[in-house]
């Protein structure tokens, strides 16, 4: 049985994967070291396979549409 990591209210994608780390998205091993670090700076080092996250109220997902342009 895994460990439970409990977080408070309103955990968003900004907590899960901060936009400032977007440049790491192609290196998932490195990117995973920063998951939820704004909510708990040591979270990634404590999380193990089989563990799970509980949010007390409202896990929020934000989707940002990126503008794309081409020089055709």
| 6-63 pLDDT, tens digit each | 887 778 878 888 889 889 989 989 998 998 998 899 999 999 999 988 877 655 555 4
8 A C-beta contact, residue 69 and residue 20: no
8: Cβ contacts below 8 Å, ≥ 6 apart: 55, 56, 57
Q: Where are the domains of the chain?
A: 4-60
**Count of helices and strands (H, E) across the chain:** 3, 2
8 A C-beta contact, residue 43 and residue 18: no
Q: What is the pTM of this model?
A: 0.66
């Amino acid at each position: 049985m895994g460990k439970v990591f409990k977080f408070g209210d309103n955990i968003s994608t900004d907590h899960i994967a901060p936009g400032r780390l977007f440049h790491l998205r192609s290196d998932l091993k490195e990117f995973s070291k920063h998951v939820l670090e704004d909510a708990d700076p040591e979270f990634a080092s404590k999380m193990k396979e089989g563990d799970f996250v509980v949010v007390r109220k409202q896990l929020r997902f934000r989707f940002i549409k990126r503008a794309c342009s081409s020089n055709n």
